[in-house]
Amino acid sequence: MLQNVAVVLLDGVNPFELGVVCEVFGTDRSDDGLPVYDFAVASAEGPALRTNTGFSLHVEHGLERLETADLIAVPAGHCYESRDFPPELLDALRRGAGRGARVLSVCSGVFVLAAAGLLDDRRCAVHWRHAQALARQYPRVAVEPDVLYVDEDPVITSAGTAAGIDACLHLVRKEQGSEVANKIARRMVVPPHRDGGQAQYIERPLPHSEADTIGEVLAWMERHLDEEVTVEQLAARAHMSPRTFARRFQQETGTTPYRWILRQRVLLAQRLLEATDETMDAIAGRTGFGNSATLRHHFVRAVGTTPNAYRRTFRGPEAA
């Protein structure tokens, strides 16, 4: 259950990355029927901290606040790749993960998790500028420098700035369903979902009109998820050769047409499982998977559970 959330700070914390966690989990959106989290900010280095932009924070809670948290978040900070961390903090993170709490880092906060040993023999994400330093300091960590976030339950790591929003919304979707995550995203005016494996850096060397062309094709694809389409057909809609279209699609979206449409189909299946009583075959037809077996295969790979189990979790056993 995701209810009790604590974000732990060190001296030199980045205000934006701290704000990401506060915005997702610390804002009361009960007027929209959304869950209200028991949220708190804790300090690992005393009540008075300075941010990396020069202003100070007064933090009420210490490390004891982490002991009851379902999620412990560690935002980025100044020079985390070259400083030591309080042993008491590292112990608290290990205890949290050991009792089943999730631990999430934003950008260079990953260095704290690595120092605690929570990333040993695990994959992780980090801002591309810190990837080499992280891999050099912690050789047991499998650093993936190009992705937005990595979920190695119970540890979730994300790259810089907006990727932290993506990771937080991913966790909300995983624990509380796509409807809750989408409503939070809408209130924040951010995309409801970006796949964790999407590239951090998306080239955009395109003239505005060409970018609009790709956007028009994306909109068409989203309206026709139940249809089988090929790169050749999509390229024809964009008035490009298949090779040029595939390259520009990657530049514009950070992923391939196949991966993009597969992920959109899974997201639509999640919404239908949460909001309707349609059969698995009907949902498979509406999402372009064709039959329930294919739906189940791709759903399990993407979400980590079966469609029936997902429906039971977010609608109750009677719905399944």
Q: What is the pLDDT of residues 168-180, one digit of tens each?
A: 999 999 999 988 9
Q: Could you tell me if 75 and 20 are in contact, meaning their C-beta atoms sit under 8 angstroms apart?
A: yes
Of the options 3.40.50.1100, 3.20.20.70, 3.40.50.880, 3.40.50.150, the CATH number for the domain spanning 4-188: 3.40.50.880
CATH of domain 208-254: 1.10.10.60
Mean per-residue pLDDT for 240-251? 91
Q: What is the pLDDT of residue 169?
A: 95
Q: Is the pLDDT of residue 2 over 90?
A: yes
Task: Quote the CA–CA distance of 287 and 306 in Å, as a whole number.
Answer: 16
- Assign 215 a pLDDT band (cuts: 50, 70, 90): confident
Q: For the segment 65-96, what is each residue's pLDDT rounded down to a tens digit?
A: 999 999 999 999 999 999 999 999 999 999 99
Q: Which residue has the higher pLDDT, 98 or 202?
A: 98
Q: What is the pLDDT of residue 199?
A: 55
Q: Could you tell me if 169 and 184 are in contact, meaning their C-beta atoms sit under 8 angstroms apart?
A: yes
CA-nearest of 156, 168, 195, 139 to 39 is 168
Q: Could you tell me if 150 and 131 are in contact, meaning their C-beta atoms sit under 8 angstroms apart?
A: no
Q: What is the pLDDT of residue 318?
A: 52
Helices (H), 33-191: 87-98, 110-115, 131-137, 162-176, 178-188
Alpha-carbon dihedral angle through residues 142, 90, 102, 298, given to the nearest 10 degrees: 0
Going by their DSSP bridges, the two strands 56-58 and 48-50 should be labelled as antiparallel
Q: Is the pLDDT of residue 198 over 70?
A: no
Q: For the segment 47-71, what is each residue's pLDDT rounded down to a tens digit?
A: 999 999 999 999 999 999 999 999 9
Lowest-confidence segment of 194-203, 225-234, 261-270 by average pLDDT: 194-203
**Which pair of structure tokens corresponds to residue 232?**
């050749």
Mean per-residue pLDDT for 272-289? 94
Q: Name the pTM for this structure.
A: 0.76
Domain with CATH 1.10.10.60 in the chain: 208-254, 259-315
Domain with CATH 3.40.50.880 in the chain: 4-188
Lowest-confidence segment of 21-25, 34-38, 218-222, 287-291 by average pLDDT: 218-222
CA-nearest of 132, 127, 134, 198 to 159 is 127
Lowest-confidence segment of 59-68, 114-123, 207-216, 292-301 by average pLDDT: 207-216
Of the options 3.30.565.10, 3.40.50.720, 1.10.620.20, 1.10.10.60, the CATH number for the domain spanning 259-315: 1.10.10.60
Mean per-residue pLDDT for 28-54? 96
Q: Which residue has the higher pLDDT, 214 or 110?
A: 110
Q: Is the pLDDT of residue 206 over 50?
A: no
Backbone angles phi, psi at 9, to 5 degrees: -115, 150
CA 306 to chain CA mean position, Å: 20
Q: What is the pLDDT of residue 195?
A: 67
Q: For the segment 179-195, what is each residue's pLDDT rounded down to a tens digit?
A: 899 899 989 988 766 66
Q: Which residues of 71-80 are buried (b: 16+ CB within 10 A; e: fewer)?
A: bbbbbbbbeb
Is 19 exposed, middle or buried, given 0-12, 13-18 or 19+ CB atoms closer than 10 A? middle
